[in-house]
């Protein structure tokens, strides 16, 4: 049987072989990494699912190919050293040489920790407080798009798991045990992220970006409601402040 010839994409199709190359690199650099699970559970979901999900969210909210590539590689500098045994600087250099300086900049902006191979990350509260301050001052709409796409995909996954875990506080505590900061730190961080995105000057006058922030806000609100707390309560949790005092 003769197979039909593959249809050629139109000349203006937004995704090219650059995007395909980024998917291959994301798979290579995160091979062996899984999504977080609670203590005692066996991880089964490859971390690549998150990277593809973030790229999907970014594209749905109007990302260019360059922004979508950065979405695929957004965790390379933070997690890549552990799985590649290469430094964050080396990985950043390869991103720049392969995909150009704009992708490299966007990946850098999406990163709150750049441990060298074998090094520990800085304390969670310190990293998150610094990242929130950077977001509040962020001038780049592209950087905000990549970052918020990451956070929306994570928030959706957390909400789904919380709703699946059940209504009991014991079940929620067990679920949030996969995060070092627990329930209060997780909820606080995502609420403060919403506030930071809305404050960022680079997000103004970009309707699709503002729609992304709105969707993140709705998801975080639903997560707070599922945990029986309000936005004001989560903003005032001590986790990030106490870690950065």
Positive or negative CA dihedral for 123, 196, 217, 51?
negative
Whole-structure pTM value: 0.91
The CATH 1.10.3210.10 portion of the chain extends over 16-121
- pLDDT-flagged residues of the chain (< 70): 1-4, 115-118, 241-245
Instruction: Please give the pLDDT value at position 244.
Output: 36
Mark residue 182 as left, alpha or beta (left: phi above 0; alpha: psi -120 to 50; beta: remaining).
Answer: left
Asked: is 16-121 a CATH 1.10.3720.10 domain? The reply is no
Instruction: Please give the pLDDT value at position 117.
Output: 60
Q: What is the DSSP letter of 11?
A: T
């Amino acid at each position: 049987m003769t197979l039909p010839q593959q249809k050629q994409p139109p000349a203006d199709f937004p995704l090219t072989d650059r995007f395909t190359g980024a998917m291959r690199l994301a798979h290579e650099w995160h091979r062996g990494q899984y999504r977080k699970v609670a203590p005692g559970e066996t991880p089964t979901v490859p971390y690549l699912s998150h990277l593809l999900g973030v790229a999907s969210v970014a594209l749905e909210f109007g990302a260019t190919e360059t922004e979508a590539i950065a979405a695929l590689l957004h965790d390379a500098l933070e997690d890549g050293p552990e799985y590649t045994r290469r430094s964050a600087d080396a990985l950043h250099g390869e991103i720049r040489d392969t995909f150009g300086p704009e992708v490299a900049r966007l990946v850098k902006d999406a990163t709150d920790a750049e441990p060298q191979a074998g090094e520990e990350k800085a304390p969670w509260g310190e990293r998150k407080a610094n990242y929130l301050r950077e977001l509040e001052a962020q001038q780049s709409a592209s950087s905000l798009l990549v970052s918020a796409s990451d956070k929306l995909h994570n928030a959706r996954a957390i909400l789904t798991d919380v709703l699946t875990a059940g209504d009991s506080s014991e079940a929620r505590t067990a679920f949030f045990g996969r995060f070092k900061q627990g329930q209060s730190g997780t909820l606080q961080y995502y609420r403060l992220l919403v506030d930071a995105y809305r404050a960022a000057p680079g997000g103004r006058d970009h309707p699709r970006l503002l729609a992304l922030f709105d969707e993140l806000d709705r998801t975080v609100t639903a997560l707070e409601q599922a945990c029986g707390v309000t936005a004001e309560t989560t903003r005032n949790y001590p986790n990030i402040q106490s870690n950065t005092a």
